[in-house]
């Protein structure tokens, strides 16, 4: 399953995931372990492969001819794609989609091989042993499409404002002409009952961007958590009266702005009651099927939360489709956790971050649930070199999408030199856990500094992480460390104090579920090799904190 709806009615497509592929591990000691594996899936979740690091080959076949587009929603960490033994593409980036077009393929059956490497290497600057598991494999869906010479690459819809019941929007359509000659075609867009037709458009070889400004969508409803209304968008290309190609997506109309103290959704000040969530499950690794993702989101709703932070990487589009439909607000983040200055100086780091940002924004632009873009969680924001990277990445985000704010979660108290750059100042604080101060005191101390010496005055303040560890079923009258009792007590205090703090627009709890970690030297701080700060454990069994959070969150509405 790739999306929650069909993305083409005209273009011929076939999902290559959702079935068994041949799997050949290539590392020493594993070569006799060839088998068939379900795609999508994570390498480390195959029996006997729990700690596998290195190369592996995945093979399947597809039937098709002409121009073929293969789209991979996520291959971790590095992928080399071969069609009929010819290398057609390479891609680094565990959590973002990429596609390859092969022109004029002979009709018939073709062999597809994907070589995957999940090792930690210098050239993979964003993957390292970390406080989460950096899974490997073809962890998201794969699709094969047969495309004409002129095809639609993507359509971006930007809602501008509502005018007497009508939404005013901008649309950008990116088409690619794979031939060497100019092609003439008609472009038609249908969205929420409105139709736009551009006849006799000329498309030169390569990419062509078309812009439609201030298109009016009559009687369109506004997307909001309490009314997550979505509309289908169908773009079509016609040549000589015949349909050439189509491209279907789903979107919603809403605006996001910030003022000096609030994040405004459709002009109303949001109260963020959120969870940070890793894509992680003991059985599926990061490749959770739609049912399991939906279950997580149902629990998050049950907890009274209204937002998820996709810490620390862009998520599967199935997750975003579900959030759109369920009215859950998303902070979507690029891939970088705790990367300090030395590692940021790795020459691969900045280009790879920028590539993730480009792929994330291009692919996920139309999801109304995404209200903010995040970058560089707890990276080197206290250093001059770090600042260069933060600045470059904020500039890139704004050049790709000026309709949403951007932020990054910092923990560099009193030393951060980047607070002038984001639209929202976000801080990871762990009062009563890593810090002895009360939540109210700690938030006040951080914010006072941010607004004075920190150069972050005039912006909303968001707590991007609070939390405490608790091991499932460890109950303890003394509320000792790692007990569910202590975790519940701390979360209760953190939430009550922060929700009462006027200057704070909300918080994200670290974290929804316990997750596997890959950082060996953290063993003493990560019992069971898990980050145990989930309000549910890795199997989604609620801890004591679940009810505490639920009782508090349900007392507060989605707006301030
Ligand atoms: C950080 C970090 C998280 C996690 C958390 C913790 O704030 O952003 O990824 O490691 O700390 O559990 O300590």
pLDDT in tens, 150-161: 999 999 999 999
**pLDDT tier for residue 60 given thresholds of 50, 70 and 90:** very high
CA of 131 to the centre of ligand 1 (A): 7
Q: Give me the mean pLDDT over the 47-76 stretch.
A: 97
Judge if the beta carbon of residue 277 lies within 6 A of ligand 1: no
Which residues are CB-contacts of 388 (< 8 A; sequence separation ≥ 6)?
none
Tell me if 378 CB under 6 Å of ligand 1.
yes
465 close to ligand 1 (CB < 6 Angstrom): yes
Measured by CA distance, the residue closest to atom 12 of ligand 1 is 531
* Residue 428 Cβ < 6 Å to ligand 1: yes
Asked whether 408 lines ligand 1 (CB < 6 A), one says no
- Specify the pLDDT at position 520: 67
Looking at the DSSP bridge assignments, the partners of residue 168 are 161, 216
Residue 31 has pLDDT above 90, yes or no: no
Q: Could you report the per-residue pLDDT of 277-311, keeping only the tens digit for each?
A: 999 999 999 999 999 999 999 999 999 999 999 99
- Per-residue confidence at 460, pLDDT binned at 50, 70, 90? very high
Ligand 1 centre distance from Cα of residue 304 (Å):
23
Is the distance from the beta carbon of residue 510 to the nearest atom of ligand 1 less than 6 Å?
yes
Question: Given ligand 1 and candidates 131, 335, 469, which is best to mutate, with the most ligand atoms within 8 Å of its CB?
Answer: 131
pLDDT in tens, 490-524: 999 999 999 999 999 999 999 999 999 987 676 66
Residue with CA closest to ligand 1 atom 9: 131
Residue 70: closest CA among 42, 90, 46, 41: 90
Question: Where does the pLDDT of residue 398 fall: very low under 50, low under 70, confident under 90, or very high at 90 and above?
Answer: very high
pLDDT-derived band at 525 (thresholds 50, 70, 90) equals confident
Distance 228 CA to ligand 1 centre (A): 31
Give the closest residue (by CA) to ligand 1 atom 7. Answer: 428
Q: List the beta strands (DSSP E) in 339-413.
A: 370-374, 406-410
∠ CA 387-391-393 to the nearest 5 degrees? 120
Per-residue model confidence (pLDDT) at position 261: 97
Helix ranges (H only) for 365-425 are 384-400
Q: What is the pLDDT of residue 311?
A: 97
Q: What is residue 337's DSSP assignment?
A: B
* Measured distance CA(203)–CA(350) in Å, rounded: 33
Placement of tokens 């701080």 in the chain: 525
Q: Is the CB of 464 under 6 A from ligand 1?
A: no
Alpha carbon of 533 to ligand 1 centroid (Å): 9
d(CA 158, CA 368): 10
Distance between CA atoms of 220 and 164, rounded to whole angstroms? 10
Dihedral angle of Cα 12, 183, 211, 245, to the nearest 10 degrees: -10
| Atom number, ligand 1, closest to the C-alpha of residue 312 | 9
Taking every pair of C-alpha atoms in the chain, what is the biggest distance, in angstroms? 78
Ranges of H-type helices in 255-348: 290-302, 317-326, 341-344
Q: At what angle do helices 290-302 and 317-326 cross, to 10 degrees?
A: 40
Percent of the chain with pLDDT over 90: 98
Find out whether 209 and 174 touch, Cβ atoms under 8 Å: yes
More confident residue, 18 or 518: 18
Asked if residue 333 lies in contact with residue 312, where contact means CB atoms within 8 angstroms, the answer is yes
Q: Percentage of the chain with pLDDT > 70?
A: 99
Q: Which of 250, 233, 236, 240 is nearest to 198 (CA)?
A: 236
Q: Which helix (H) or strand (E) holds 59?
A: strand 55-72
Q: CA 349, 354, 356: angle at the middle one, nearest 5?
A: 95
Q: Is the CB of 123 under 6 A from ligand 1?
A: no
Peptide bond into 484 cis (omega under 30): no
Distance 39 CA to ligand 1 centre (A): 30
Nearest to 302 by CA among 507, 557, 4, 551: 551
pLDDT confidence of residue 360: 98
């Amino acid at each position: 399953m790739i999306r929650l709806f069909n993305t083409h009615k005209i273009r011929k497509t076939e999902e290559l995931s959702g079935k068994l592929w041949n799997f050949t591990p290539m590392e020493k000691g594993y070569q006799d372990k060839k088998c068939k594996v379900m795609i999508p899936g994570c390498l480390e979740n195959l029996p006997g492969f729990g700690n596998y690091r290195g190369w592996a080959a995945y093979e399947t076949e597809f039937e098709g001819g002409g121009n073929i587009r293969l789209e991979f929603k996520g291959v971790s960490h590095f992928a080399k794609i071969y069609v009929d033994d010819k290398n057609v593409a390479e891609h680094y980036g565990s959590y973002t989609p990429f596609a390859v077009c092969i022109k004029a393929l002979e009709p018939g059956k073709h062999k597809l091989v994907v070589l995957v490497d999940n090792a930690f290497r210098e050239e993979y600057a964003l993957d390292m042993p970390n406080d989460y598991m950096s899974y490997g494999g073809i962890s998201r869906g794969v699709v094969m499409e047969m495309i004409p010479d002129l095809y639609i690459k993507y359509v971006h819809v930007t809602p501008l404002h509502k005018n007497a019941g009508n939404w005013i929007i901008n649309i950008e359509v990116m088409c690619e002409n794979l031939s060497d000659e100019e092609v003439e075609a008609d472009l038609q867009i249908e969205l929420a009952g409105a139709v736009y037709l551009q006849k006799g458009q000329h498309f030169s070889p390569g990419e062509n961007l078309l812009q439609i400004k201030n298109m009016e969508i009559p009687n369109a409803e506004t997307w909001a958590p309490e009314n997550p209304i979505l509309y289908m968008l169908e773009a079509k290309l016609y040549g000589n009266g015949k349909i050439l190609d189509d491209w279907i997506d789903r979107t919603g109309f809403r605006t996001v702005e910030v003022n000096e103290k609030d994040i405004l959704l459709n002009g109303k000040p949001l109260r963020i009651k959120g969870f940070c969530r890793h894509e992680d499950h003991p059985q599926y690794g990061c490749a959770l099927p739609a049912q399991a993702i939906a279950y997580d989101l149902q629990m998050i709703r049950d907890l009274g939360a209204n937002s998820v932070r996709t810490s620390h990487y862009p998520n599967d589009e199935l997750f975003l489709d579900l959030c759109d439909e369920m009215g859950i607000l998303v902070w979507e983040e690029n891939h970088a956790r705790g990367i300090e200055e030395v590692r940021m100086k790795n020459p691969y780091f900045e280009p790879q971050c920028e590539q993730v940002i480009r792929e994330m924004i291009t692919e996920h632009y139309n999801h109304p649930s995404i209200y903010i873009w995040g970058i560089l969680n707890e990276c080197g924001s206290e250093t001059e070199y770090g600042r260069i990277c933060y600045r470059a990445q904020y500039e890139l985000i704004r050049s790709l999408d000026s309709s949403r704010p951007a932020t990054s979660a910092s923990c560099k108290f009193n030393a951060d030199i980047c607070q002038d750059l984001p639209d929202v100042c976000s801080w990871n604080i762990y009062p009563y856990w890593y810090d002895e101060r009360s939540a109210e005191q700690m938030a006040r101390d951080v914010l006072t500094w941010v607004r004075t010496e920190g150069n972050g005055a005039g912006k909303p303040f968001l707590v991007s992480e609070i939390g405490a560890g608790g091991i499932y079923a460890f109950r303890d009258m003394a509320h000792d460390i790692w007990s569910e009792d202590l975790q519940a007590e701390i979360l209760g205090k953190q939430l009550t104090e922060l929700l009462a703090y006027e200057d704070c627009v909300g918080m994200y709890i670290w974290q929804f579920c316990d997750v596997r970690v890959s950082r060996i030297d953290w063993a003493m701080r990560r019992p069971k090799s898990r980050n145990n700060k989930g309000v549910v454990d890795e199997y989604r069994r609620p801890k004591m904190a679940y009810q505490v959070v639920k009782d508090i969150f349900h007392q507060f509405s989605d707006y301030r």
